[in-house]
A = this chain, B = another copy of it.
Amino acid sequence: MEKKIFSSFLKDRGQRFTKERAAILRKTLSYHGHFDPESLYLKIRETGLKASRASVYRTLNLLCECGLIEKVRKTEHGTIYEHTFGHGHHDHMLCIMCGNTIEFYSEDLERLKEGLCTKQNFRGVNHTLEIRGYCKKCQKKRR
């Protein structure tokens, strides 16, 4: 499915669905949660497949352009991605103690967002909401 989307996206632009790109796509999809380019690169190496760092970065950009993955946020240590196709839109809560994230979706939020855009004459395309704080576990640890 994703393979089809990616290859036809490439074809439309006169680009090719090479085996390196296939390998990168495959490993990308194997992540259920968030991932970063370097880990992806290492994971590909481990598996015996091969693709250079340059190709990994290039391909991640392509995958973003065609909407299969998204940049979640940039940290001090680089960009975090997630596989979005098939996983509907959602937002994140980020624990500032342990780094874990909780994904959630709120219909109310989507509606509110629409209202806010209308009020500002803004044509919203997408959004990211990140709530930072303490997850359940870390609240206990703290005291």
Contacts and interface: CB of A to CB of B under 8 A. Distances in A.
Interface of A: 73-75, 93, 95-96, 102, 104, 106, 108-109, 112-113, 116-117, 119-136, 139
Contacts of A127: 129-132
A131 B122 contact: yes
Contacts of A135: 121-123
B120 A102 contact: yes
A132 B123 contact: no
Contact of A134 (B106, B113, B123, B132): B123
Nearest to A75: B74
Contacts of A129: 127-129
A133 B125 contact: yes
B122 A133 contact: yes
5 contacts: A93-B116, A93-B120, A96-B125, A122-B131, A126-B132
Nearest to A126: B132
A122 B109 contact: no
